[in-house]
Structure 1
Amino acid sequence: MTKSKAAAIGASNGRPPPLRLVIDGDALVANWQWLRTQGGNADCGAAVKANGYGLGASEVVARLAAAGCRDFFCATWAEAEAIGPLPDAVALSVLHGVRAEDMPAALASRVRPVLNTIEQVTRWRESGGGPCDVMVDTGINRLGLTPAQARSGLLDGLTIETLLSHLSCADEPGHPLNERQRDAFRTIRDAVPARRYSLANSAGILLGRDYGFDLLRPGIALYGGVPTPDDAASTALRLTVKMEAQVIQLRHVPAGEGVGYGAKWTAQADARIAVLNIGYADGMLRQLGPCLEAVVGGERRSLAGRISMDMITVDAGSADVAEGDWVELDYDLPKLAARSGLTQYELLTGLGRRFDRIWR
């Protein structure tokens, strides 16, 4: 068992925090291996932005690098620095490019910028920067050069390791923009020399092998999210995170009394309420209240009342539970996203720093 470098607040001096994420490293690797098989001959990288989607980027990189992953993507240079030294033969790219403020760190590092704008291309070229990646926008209208800019000669003389684009509607398999973006990217591939070409994110991988090009860039699917209503993915992809919190107190609430802010939950009969040490400051947003279930003493139980900043209250019924016990919160990403209206991305990346992140 190892701890992520993203240390939890309060985990020092041998005092583990009262809330934890137990992360299944074997499931992470198995998800990456399955995604790799979906891309034909394409290599399979990994997106580790937002601190490895909330789980700990350093540990994700170490686990996947040991399994054979060689290409990683984060958002900013601060994220790249937080990951720390990279394993041998592993590459890391910064998706947001390179600002003037980032140039000293970028030039001193083997991490590559993904150049997105004319200004970034000019800045990198004039500084004598080495190999880089380039993003071309094929229809999401977010980051990237336009196809015309990419074909204009702007990129002549750059050593482009990977030319990237990003799909807008890959989580809707029948959306016509998917094929338009794929075809536009093929045209750019034929016009702009690079060592490799990359289009498919997690959902894009599931669109088929003609979206794979040379390099896959999965993110949410690595961590147990199912990016499209795909039966094969739903069966193959494994949840990586188990969420647990300790019971602070057990309360006996008489029939007719309310629990929590606004007294929105009323005991219909005398009730046992377990107060858990976790709340919306840890990413458990209030709208999750009606959607969450807790496993208390082996029984599935509903929440009682509103989620507050640092506490959740659970109707414990007659479950065998005591103060100090650990209670699991069912954090099945696809199921919870469908119930709550939040995306699987929000459910993972919003998890706070107070969790002890324990890898097994």
Structure 2
Amino acid sequence: MSVREKPSPLSLGASPCDAGEVALLTIDLAALARNWKLLAERSAPAECAAVVKADAYGLGLEPVMRALLAAGCRTFFVATAAEGVQARAIARDAVLYMFNGAPPGSGPLLLSHELRPVLNSLDEIAEWAALAPGTPAALHIDTGMSRLGVAPPDAGVAAELARGLSLQLVMSHFVSSQQPENRCNDRQIAQFALARAHFPEVAASFANSSGIFLPHRPHLDLVRPGYALYGGNPTPGKPNPMRPVVKLEARILALREIKPGESVGYDATWTASRPSRLAALGLGYADGLPWGVSSGAGAEPLEALVSGFRCPIVGRVSMDAIVLDLTEAPSFIAQRGDFVEILGETTGVDALAERAGTIGYEILTRLGRRYARRYVGG
């Protein structure tokens, strides 16, 4: 629990059933810390930083940063100045980099909070060098993403423009590090090696979560994991080496039986072919559960874990509700008010994302604000 948060029955360890909540998100800070330590050990002797942008991928910036600080992390990456200001209030002595650089007019704010911009263009380097000479900053070399960053042929010009700065880091970003055999990885590594030759005394960073696991071991001086910290699989197609960090449970609001031929939900996309027992749960797409897991919307139905039994979602995902088919499970397993697991050990963020036709990053960052939240292991 954050020291700034008002204590609640959930944060003090009470049963979620006592709190009157209809959905509960549990964040395991001990698992988060173990994930960071695993990545740090794998990438040693490089420093292991942490990407905590987007409210720490939706899990809460303050509790996540405090857990990582306690584990030994000292360098963090955010996206925006607002995120940087929040992070600085939590970690007075940490090194804080901003991926989005120094937008026009942001200089005084960045300097007053000791935030280090990741400079993403020649114009931005020149502007920052004129505004804040001698201040720490990072430089982004674009080796293939075609988003932000200086093109490799311009690295020499960038080095000249940055002479008045205290350049602390030169970095790039992988396009396909989750695909170890993709030849784009080789091209990017070669391009970055040539570009960083213009910065012989500056620390270098390339590897994101999946990059840490590439056979090339492009760890350099600093690695920047994000998704893997929060339990996402950095090695798609292989067993996930990371511990699960989030668990999402929802309360059964009502139980009912329907006859063959009766339908469930909007547009009647699911119709009972036999007498069926159903459970309505109190969460929906307003809480970040993708509409794409609706039955009939794609692949196999998403299943929730009800007292150890897998029960599929049937019908459309509504704004505030979903329905489970309990027919195959024993009649005694569920009572009104029970919590069932939607996301956790049984169905991880990657599995839920695959079922919804999206990516685990989107699942994490859209986890709803209406959930009661419980932090454990911190």
- Same fold by TM-score, threshold 0.5 exceeded? yes
Which stretch of structure 1 is more off in the superposition, 274-283 or 124-133? 124-133
How far off its partner does 1:323 sit?
Answer: 2.3
Equivalence for 2:306? 296
In 2 relative to 1, CA 162–347 (structure 1 residues): closer, same or farther, beyond 3 Å? same
Deviations 1:207-234 (A, max 9, x none): 1363100000011111111122364xx2
Equivalence for 1:208? 215
Deviations 1:186-209 (A, max 9, x none): 222221245411000011111136
| Alpha-carbon separation, structure 2, partners of 1:244 and 1:182 | 42
Task: Report if aligned partners of 1:224, 1:240 keep a CA contact under 8 Å in 2.
Answer: yes
| Alpha-carbon separation, structure 1, partners of 2:105 and 2:326 | 53
Runs of 4+ in structure 1 off by over 6 angstroms are 3-8
In 2 relative to 1, CA 350–124 (structure 1 residues): closer, same or farther, beyond 3 Å? same
Gaps of 5+ in 1: none
Equivalence for 2:166? 159
In 2 relative to 1, CA 4–259 (structure 1 residues): closer, same or farther, beyond 3 Å? farther
Equivalence for 2:251? 246
How far off its partner does 1:6 sit?
Answer: 12
| Alpha-carbon separation, structure 2, partners of 1:83 and 1:103 | 17
Task: Report if aligned partners of 1:70, 1:90 keep a CA contact under 8 Å in 2.
Answer: yes
| Alpha-carbon separation, structure 1, partners of 2:292 and 2:319 | 13
How far off its partner does 1:251 sit?
Answer: 2.4
1:350 aligns with 2:348: no
Structure 2 residue matching 1:338: 3-state secondary structure: helix
Deviations 1:89-120 (A, max 9, x none): 42111100111232231121112111112232
Gaps of 5+ in 2: 12-17, 296-300
Structure with bigger RCO (C-alpha 8 Å, 6+ apart): 1
**1:206-355 correspondence runs (5 A):** 206-208=213-215, 210-229=217-236, 231=238, 234-290=239-295, 291-317=301-327, 318-330=331-343, 331-355=347-371
In 2 relative to 1, CA 74–283 (structure 1 residues): closer, same or farther, beyond 3 Å? same
1:181 aligns with 2:188: yes
Deviations 1:241-297 (A, max 9, x none): 110112222222223211100111112233222111111111111212344211123
Match of 2:155 among 136, 150, 157: 150
Matched AA of 1:354: R
Matched AA of 1:240: V
Equivalence for 2:80? 76
Matched AA of 1:260: G
**1:15-26 correspondence runs (5 A):** 17-26=21-30
Which stretch of structure 1 is more off in the superposition, 326-335 or 66-75? 326-335
Identity %: 39
Equivalence for 2:140? 135
| Alpha-carbon separation, structure 2, partners of 1:119 and 1:5 | 42
1:114 aligns with 2:118: yes
How far off its partner does 1:352 sit?
Answer: 2.2
| Alpha-carbon separation, structure 2, partners of 1:182 and 1:176 | 10
Which stretch of structure 1 is more off in the superposition, 69-78 or 114-123? 114-123
Task: Report if aligned partners of 1:276, 1:313 keep a CA contact under 8 Å in 2.
Answer: yes
| Alpha-carbon separation, structure 1, partners of 2:362 and 2:181 | 24
* Total equivalences in the alignment: 354
In 2 relative to 1, CA 4–136 (structure 1 residues): closer, same or farther, beyond 3 Å? farther
How far off its partner does 1:2 sit?
Answer: 5.8
| Alpha-carbon separation, structure 2, partners of 1:28 and 1:68 | 12
Equivalence for 2:45? 41
Which stretch of structure 1 is more off in the superposition, 136-145 or 266-275? 266-275
Matched AA of 2:119: L
| Alpha-carbon separation, structure 2, partners of 1:228 and 1:4 | 36
Match of 2:204 among 197, 201, 207: 197
TM-score (norm 1): 0.91
Deviations 1:29-81 (A, max 9, x none): 11111111221311101111111111112211110111001111111112223
| Alpha-carbon separation, structure 2, partners of 1:187 and 1:357 | 47
Task: Report if aligned partners of 2:207, 2:223 keep a CA contact under 8 Å in 1.
Answer: yes
TM-score (norm 2): 0.87
| Alpha-carbon separation, structure 2, partners of 1:159 and 1:20 | 46
